[in-house]
């Protein structure tokens, strides 16, 4: 029969489809606009999954811009944000709680967890005597790495549940993490926060956060 579009019949079919598409444009064009708008709001990750991303002031500004777009009445219902950018934004919000010695902060998504590492003076982490002989091996500047999940406890309050903690290439047993957090914590902890979690003040329009497939996705509260 030859190529499809060499036949008059197929040309007629193609023309009919084109006309039908034009007639029904009021149906599919808003859907196309919504899809492209969402794609523009959630661009492909600039970093490869499983790689460390620096937490910078520019990154914090990018995360803030995404969060503000979610607050818009006509904005998207969800958006992806880079691990380093979100970590930088969180650090800005918690700057009064972080050790002054914290430097070179980086973040990475691994599975369903957000990993964060930085160099810090161990003395700024609170009472480390519970680490036993390990405490005597620590210098004035050590790299620490912790991993955990992000959860919204209630509107305006989230938590970062620390599942793993490493310092000086040693892994700290999870059972000790709540004691370390309690030793380091400043001020009163909000009710409802888990013993192994760090409290986070979150925008009231953010209803959920999910870490999946190498991406962090923020969802706004839909009323």
Q: What are 84-135's pLDDT values in tens digits?
A: 999 888 887 665 566 778 888 899 998 889 999 999 998 888 777 878 888 8
What's the average model confidence in pLDDT over 211-219? 89
Selection from 82, 56, 107 nearest residue 216 by Cα:
82
Whether residues 61 and 167 share a domain: the answer is yes
Contact 112, 209 (CB under 8 A): no
Whether residues 36 and 62 share a domain: the answer is no
Contact 80, 216 (CB under 8 A): yes
Whether residues 13 and 72 share a domain: the answer is no
Whether residues 35 and 52 share a domain: the answer is no
Whether residues 98 and 3 share a domain: the answer is no
Whether residues 153 and 65 share a domain: the answer is yes
Whether residues 123 and 161 share a domain: the answer is yes
Look at residue 202 and tell me whether its pLDDT is greater than 70: yes
Q: What angle do CA 84, 49, 91 make, to 5 degrees?
A: 15
User: What proportion of the chain, given as a percentage, has pLDDT over 90?
Assistant: 41
Whether residues 90 and 155 share a domain: the answer is yes
Whether residues 206 and 107 share a domain: the answer is yes
Angle between helices 83-93 and 57-71 (to 10 degrees): 90
Of the two residues 30 and 67, the one the predictor is more confident about is 67
Containing structural domain, residue 6: 1-41
- The string of DSSP codes covering 2-19 is --GGGSHHHHHHHHHHHH
Whether residues 70 and 154 share a domain: the answer is yes
Structure confidence by residue, pLDDT tens digits, 7-64: 333 333 333 333 333 333 344 344 334 433 443 344 444 556 578 998 899 999 999 9
Whether residues 88 and 25 share a domain: the answer is no
Number of domains in the chain: 2
Whether residues 37 and 76 share a domain: the answer is no
d(CA 70, CA 217): 11
């Amino acid at each position: 029969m030859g190529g499809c579009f060499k036949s008059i019949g197929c040309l007629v079919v193609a023309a009919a489809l084109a006309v039908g598409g034009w007639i029904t444009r009021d149906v599919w064009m808003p859907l196309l606009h919504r899809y492209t708008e969402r794609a523009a709001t959630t661009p492909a990750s600039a970093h490869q999954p499983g790689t460390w991303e620096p937490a910078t002031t520019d990154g914090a500004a990018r995360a803030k811009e995404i969060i503000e777009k979610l607050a818009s009445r006509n904005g998207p219902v969800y958006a992806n944000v880079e691990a380093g950018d979100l970590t930088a934004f969180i650090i800005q919000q918690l700057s009064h709680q972080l050790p002054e010695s914290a430097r070179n902060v980086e973040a990475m998504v691994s599975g369903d967890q957000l990993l964060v590492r930085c160099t810090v003076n161990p003395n700024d982490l609170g009472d480390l005597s519970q680490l036993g002989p390990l405490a005597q091996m620590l210098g004035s500047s050590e790299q620490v790495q912790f991993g955990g999940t992000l959860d919204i406890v209630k509107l305006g309050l989230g938590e970062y549940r620390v599942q793993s903690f490493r310092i000086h290439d040693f892994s700290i047993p999870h059972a000790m993490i709540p004691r370390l957090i309690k030793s380091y914590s400043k001020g009163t902890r909000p009710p409802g926060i888990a013993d192994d979690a760090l409290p986070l003040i979150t925008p009231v329009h953010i209803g959920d956060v999910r870490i999946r497939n190498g991406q962090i996705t923020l969802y706004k509260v839909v009323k």
